[in-house]
Structure 1
């Protein structure tokens, strides 16, 4: 157990953490992509509802 904890601690020293500027940029990209996908799937959903409504 202690060997595992030591190896985790040693590995965490090798991690390169993002800067605040890079983190904000990455979060912004994730939010923009999420919004675009939500809009896309919303439009597709409305289109499918409209098409099904024509047949029902």
Structure 2
């Protein structure tokens, strides 16, 4: 049980050393991530649609 207590004490000590982002930075990073994910999702959706249509055209 002592090892578990020491582990959580060490975790708490290390978390105090972390440089947390400010609210403005966090908002900017979040917008960047969401925009990138949406772009990649749309990109692969268009590629998938194109490949599907190409295969459909080859089969018919």
**Same fold, TM-score > 0.5, yes or no:** yes
Q: Does 1:38 align with 2:41?
A: yes
Number of aligned pairs?
56
Residue segments in structure 2 that go unaligned for 5+ positions in a row? none
Q: Which residue of 2 aligns with 1:11?
A: 14
CA distance in 1, matches of 2:52, 2:7: 54
Residue segments in structure 1 that go unaligned for 5+ positions in a row? none
- Can you list the C-alpha shifts for 1:3-43, whole angstroms capped at 9, x where unaligned? 11111111011011110000000000001101110110011
**TM-score normalized by the length of structure 1:** 0.91
RMSD of aligned residue pairs (Cα, Å) = 0.8
CA distance in 2, matches of 1:6, 1:53: 60
Runs of 4+ aligned residues of structure 1 deviating over 6 Å after TM superposition are none
